Structures are given as C-alpha cells and as structure tokens.
Amino acid sequence: MSRAGFWSSETLKTRLPSEAIVQPYNEEAIKACCYELSVGEEAFVSGEDAQKIHLKNGGTVAIPPGQVVLVLTQETLKMPLDAIGLLSIKFGLKARGLINVSGFHVDPGFEGKLVFSMYNAGVQTIHLGVGSRIFMLWLCSIDDATADKYHGTHNQQKHLPDDAITNLAARMPSPFTVEEEIKSLRHEMNIIKTILGVAVTLGLTAFFTSLKGCATSSPSPPPFFSPLSTSPMLSASGTPSNSPNAPSATDAAISPSVTPLPSATVQPSGTHRP
C-alpha cells in the first residue's frame, strides 16, 4: 500500500520519465507540482463551416465568442494504476472567458492523447497556438494499485474522435449568436420600413393628383336636361327642345293661362255714305 496524495514536483521529475507516463517529456513543463500539457496538431471549432483543423508549427486556432473548440494534446499519456490525473486550464485563459467543459480527470490505466473541449464565453475571439502549454495535469496517488483500469473507447486515442466532431458540427447557440440574429432582423425590418414608406408616399401622391384633376375638369349637363329639373323639356310639338330659352315645366306651372279673344269680322256695307 502506497501513501495517497498529490505528487510533488520531485516525484513528477522522477516517475514521469522513468515510467514513460508523459511522452514526449520535458522537465521544464513541471511547475508548481503539475505538468503543463501543450496544444497538439489537431483542433476543431464549432460553426456552420466547421471542419477539422491541422495545425503546423506556428499555426493557431481561433475560437469565436459563443463557440466550442476541441483540442488534441501534443503529449501522449500512459497513466499508472496507482494514480489518477486531475485537469484544468490556465487562469489567464479563464479570465478571458475560456471554460473547460470536458472531463476533469484521467482514469488509471488510460493510454493515449487527451482531448480538451472548451467553450468561449468571452466577448473576443481567443487564439491558441500549437505547442502552447495551457493545460495543467496533477497526479494523485490512490491507496493502492487497482485492477479496475480504464477500458473506454478513447483508449489509445491519437486523433480527435469522430463522434465528438459530429456533435459539434452545427453552430452552437449562445447569447452572441442570438445577438447577431437580432441585429440581422433589425436590418431587415429597416429595409421593409423604407420600402413601405416609399410605397405609401407614391400612393398618396397619385391619389391627390387624381383628385386635383377631377376638380379642374367638371362635366357639363346634357343639353336636353334643365338644371332645375330632371325631366326633359318638351317643345310645343311634344319633342324635346334643344333651345336654352325654352320654358321649363316649373315655369309653365307658375305662369297664368291666357285665353285669346275672338276676332271681330267686319262685313262690307252695300250703301255708301258720304
């Protein structure tokens, strides 16, 4: 039975290289009783056009706000059966909004490269360079070596797993993506308002122009209709009169009737008087 507890820097410097727990091993990566793991050559960032990124020396991966990144470590681990690993990322990245959302421990007996899943909750794009030592690994002894070692699907892991990439293929919803969609909707609404405003202005202009034209060109009444009556005026012969001086039905009703006097007939006399 061994003594349980976190490994000191001295224990790390002794056991890590001798038991090939971390490969490639670099003693300068041991700081404050932890081993700093680095960004590897494969990464994946969620988004509409997301695809696996192969990083070379000097390459970087950009993580926009509201998106998730998968990063493969450069180092390969071979965990002993009497220890368990604990994981975190450096505070400088946490302060900028990068959050570790993957597992926080490494099982006894695990062999392979680690995959870190991180979410950018900040307001700026975060860039990670290949080889940057941003992950921290602490090793802690358990009370005895265990036969219940890791037998999961990620054992002997050398590349980013396909199932993890499939789950992040679409763009991740976040407050930042919602804000972008709201800005896009506002822009479209402004365009619609402008179009409606122009259409209403043109419609009102055409309407008032037509009213003005109707007012300046009033039609004259038919010649055989009286302005004071809707009945046609008749002449003495009983046909409609076209004369503007023809009396109307109203005038005929008001004027008194006149009976002509009989004319006197003068008979010639047969006797001539001087």
Residue with tokens 């308002």: 193
pLDDT for 224: 52
Best CA proximity match to 40, nearest among 68, 1, 70, 78? 70
pTM of the model: 0.63
pLDDT for 12: 97
Residue with tokens 């220890």: 83
pLDDT for 274: 43
Mean pLDDT by 10 residues, the chain (274 residues): 82 97 97 97 86 88 92 97 97 95 93 95 94 97 94 91 77 61 80 89 84 69 53 49 50 50 50 46
The three-class DSSP label of residue 44 is strand
Output the CA–CA distances (angstroms, integers) from residue 20 to 15, 26, 191, in the order listed. 8, 11, 64
- CA pair distance 244, 237, nearest whole angstrom: 16
Backbone conformation region of residue 147, classed left if phi is above 0, alpha if psi is from -120 to 50, else beta: alpha
The gap from C-alpha 210 to its chain's centroid, in whole angstroms, comes to: 43
In CATH, the number for domain 5-170 is 2.70.40.10
Element (H, E) at 252: helix 249-254
The three-class DSSP label of residue 36 is strand
Half-sphere exposure of 255 (CA within 13 A, CB side): 9
Q: For residue 31, report the phi and psi dihedrals to the nearest 5 degrees.
A: -145, 130
pLDDT for 234: 47
pLDDT for 221: 57
Best CA proximity match to 60, nearest among 39, 37, 75? 39
For the chain, the domains span 5-170, 173-201
Residue with tokens 């680690």: 114
pLDDT for 98: 96
